[in-house]
Amino acid sequence: MTRVVFASADPNSSDIRAVEVDMSTDLGTLELPAPVLTASGCAAAGKELDQFFDITELGAIVTKSVMLKPRSGRATPRMAETPSGMLNSIGLQGPGIDQFIEHDLAWLAQRGARTIVSIAGGSVDEYAKLAQRLRNVPGVAGLEVNISCPNVENRGQVFACHAGTAAQVVQAVKRFADPKMPILAKLSPDVTDIAEIADAVVRAGATGISVMNTTLGMVIDLDSMRPALAGVTGGLSGPAIRPIAVRCVWQIRQALPHIPILGMGGIRSGEDALQFILAGANAVSIGTVIFNDPSAPLRIQEELAQALAIRGFTSVSEAVSFAHRSATAEVGVEVSEEDQDGQ
Amino acid sequence: MSKPVQLRGEVLDVRRSGSYFVISMTAPGIPEQTRPGHFLNIGIGGEDSSMLLRRSFAIHQVQERGMYGGTLEIVVGVNGKGSQWLADRKRHDTVSVVGPLGRPFVLPKQPVACVLVGGGYGSAPLFMLAEQLRERGCRVDVVIGAATEDKLFGVLDIKRLASSLTITTDDGSLGEQGRVTDVLPEVMERHDAGVVYACGPMGMLAAVAHIAGNHRAHSQCSVEESMACGVGVCMTCVLPVVGDDGLTRMVRSCTDGPVFRGDRVRWSDVGTIPDDVVGAPQVGGH
């Protein structure tokens, strides 16, 4: 329980209240003491951010997507600032799974942080091998399957863009991972019908959905009059894409009323996080805003508790999907049948 | 090891120096940890700013104690909306500061002769460095250069700290016409320099590292790569650097740098992924 102290919304009132908000939540079988996580690729493996706040206070650290082998990533420039956001083309630079387990995961386990490991592959087989390699490794609370990173070369073949290939990857991970391991499939917004993809990965064995990854964008540098990024296109993130992400969460929640959703995309404040929860997210991840404010995840978690309390919620779970309630379920509005009949 | 602090600093003064702005601010907790070559970054435009990325600056001067407690100074060159916003700050405005960041210059244990080379406002971190080298008994000769006189930073102040000061400008408006690297070999030879410290644009650093190598001198170069986070999580500021094991890796300027040994950076490969870098894409792979 998180104790929240706040002043009354009524400016004429000096009423100060303290309430308890139950911040625990779950993503299916993955129980979390708090609903704010880091977004993959924006928190490395937690160590750097632990200088700014206690990372064990968060729901979990979602680590940067790791591949089987060490990977250099793309050439620089790798990023460009855009209005309320940024474009990035890192190209999944990373140490490879063995180094990751030996150093990063070991540190997170020793630190006592819950960890969701994001995995990325260039083939279905690579995802399967990663899932297998992570079996029985201590300190892994769940897997996030990055099937939607737009930065891997061969862009036409992004797994997340087709229900069939998305499902194939998830099925392979499910088959080779620890049978009880929660599996989140991270979806791309760059599809025609995101609910269809969500449905396909759930049928393939995903425990839940992470939504959303960056959306593909481009900036032209006016000095060179060439693409600003060495990788030409890049993933757009930050508050600029937040409404797209809220829409994706909403659409998936409508299609799949009971599937766990980890929502993300441009969250900058506790009120932003609350939008995702009301739209159907069971938990949220904080990404690009970390670059603006390295303490953002814990700040947002505290602001979210406040935002819930102010609106009369005593738990996160009460607020999940609250925006989907029918008009007749409006709080404080009792509609009798007689009234509806106009009598 | 320094541990970065995140705080709101109060602007004490913004003053012009040539075409630059020197901003002094309160920053309790940062000065006592700062060593020459450390940097900090500043959030632009307040909590709801549409400019999300923090701007990085070398720490120019620090004062641990004084009327305002710990204070520091940075030098800002206006080259976009973000730096313009910063230059427009007024006394008592507050800004979000994170620092000290990065790995500072390594100082010699012996009192060897050192040459400090600054390009443009790249001379900013060299003042503290010059003071500390002199305290160790090192001879300090300084070379600073810029395109034009107004783009030189701190000529008068650094003169007091240096045994000699050589100035170059591209247009000859002050000092010798030419580049810092035109005069560097002679300055090194005259004083039998054992170490060269440099801060400035990539091209200048590459040339300085090359000259130092020719003179069998050690070089410490502080790079300027564009960074998104400055704290080691975003992986945007990488460059190819040779490690102790002889292998080249794409390493972060923010946490592995910004100061690198000049003989370890593969200067001509900056902005590329060399074929032999650890994890380079395989032919036919993804």
What percent of chain B is modeled with pLDDT above 70?
98
Domain identity same for B224 and B169: yes
Domain identity same for B84 and B140: no
Residue range of the domain that includes B235: 114-269
> Is the model's pLDDT at A291 over the cut of 90?
yes
Residue A149 is a catalytic residue: yes
Helix (H) or strand (E) run with residue B190 in it: helix B180-191
Q: Do A291 and B228 touch (CB under 8 A)?
A: yes
Domain identity same for B30 and B169: no
Q: Report residue A335's pLDDT band, with 50, 70 and 90 as the boundaries.
A: very low
Chain B partners of A297 at a C-beta cutoff of 8 Å? none
Chain B partners of A84 at a C-beta cutoff of 8 Å? 50, 52
**Does some domain include residue B17?**
yes
Per CATH, the number for A27-342 is 3.20.20.70
Largest CA distance in chain B: 63
Average of per-residue pLDDT values in chain A: 91
Predicted pLDDT of residue B66: 76
Q: Count CB atoms within 10 A of the CB of residue B66.
A: 11
Q: What is the DSSP string of A24-62?
A: -EEETTEEESSSEEEPTTSSTTSTTGGGTS-GGGSSBEE
Domain identity same for B153 and B61: no
Partner A contacted by B128 (CB < 8 A): no
Predicted pLDDT of residue A333: 43
The CATH number given to whatever domain includes residue B253 is 3.40.50.80
Q: Where are the domains of chain A?
A: 27-342
Domain identity same for B181 and B213: yes
Read off the pLDDT of residues A27-83 as tens digits, 9 standing for 90 and up.
999 999 999 999 999 999 999 999 999 999 999 999 999 999 999 999 999 999 999
Nearest CA among A115, A122, A120, A121 for reference residue A101: A115
Domain identity same for B131 and B254: yes
**Does some domain include residue B130?**
yes
Q: Do A73 and B51 touch (CB under 8 A)?
A: no
Q: Do B3 and A88 touch (CB under 8 A)?
A: no
Q: Report the C-alpha gap between B170 and B148 in whole angstroms.
A: 6
Partner A contacted by B279 (CB < 8 A): yes
**Does some domain include residue B68?**
yes
Predicted pLDDT of residue A215: 95
Predicted pLDDT of residue B69: 81
Residues A100-104 have a mean pLDDT of 97
Chain B partners of A69 at a C-beta cutoff of 8 Å? 279
Q: Report the C-alpha gap between B114 and B192 in whole angstroms.
A: 9
How much is the pTM? Answer: 0.93
**Does some domain include residue B286?**
no
Q: Count CB atoms within 10 A of the CB of residue B264.
A: 16
Q: Report the C-alpha gap between B230 and B40 in whole angstroms.
A: 8
Stated length of chain A: 343
**Does some domain include residue B282?**
no
Read off the pLDDT of residues B202-239 as tens digits, 9 standing for 90 and up.
999 999 999 999 999 999 999 988 899 999 999 999 99
Are β-strands B71-77 and B55-63 bridged in parallel, bridged antiparallel, or unpaired?
A: antiparallel
> Is the model's pLDDT at A341 over the cut of 80?
no
Predicted pLDDT of residue B65: 80
- The count of structural domains within chain B is 2
Chain B partners of A44 at a C-beta cutoff of 8 Å? 232-233, 235
Q: Min CA distance, B104 vs chain A (Å)?
A: 18
Low-confidence ranges of chain B (pLDDT < 50): 284-286
Q: Report the C-alpha gap between A300 and A285 in whole angstroms.
A: 10
Predicted pLDDT of residue B281: 82
Q: What is the separation of C-alpha A32 from the centre of its chain, rounded to a whole number of angstroms?
A: 14
Domain identity same for B141 and B63: no
Q: Report the C-alpha gap between B193 and B110 in whole angstroms.
A: 12
Domain identity same for B122 and B58: no
Mutate to test the interface with A, among B52, B84, B238, B253 (most CBs of A within 10 A): B52
Predicted pLDDT of residue A7: 62
Read off the pLDDT of residues A265-289 as tens digits, 9 standing for 90 and up.
999 999 999 999 999 999 999 999 9
Predicted pLDDT of residue A330: 58
Could you tell me the sign of the dihedral formed by the alpha carbons of A266, A267, A269, A273, in that order?
positive
Q: Do B98 and A294 touch (CB under 8 A)?
A: yes
Domain identity same for B17 and B131: no
Predicted pLDDT of residue A2: 78
Question: Which residues 145-164 on chain A approach chain B with CB closer than 8 angstroms?
Answer: 152-154
Q: Which residue of A has its CA nearest to B277?
A: A72
Domain identity same for B265 and B155: yes
Domain identity same for B121 and B259: yes
**Does some domain include residue B278?**
no
- A72: Cβ contacts below 8 Å, ≥ 6 apart: A91, A93, B249, B250, B273, B277, B278, B279, B280, B281
Domain identity same for B139 and B262: yes
Distances (CA, A) of A251 to A128, A189, A211, B220, B256: 29, 11, 11, 54, 43
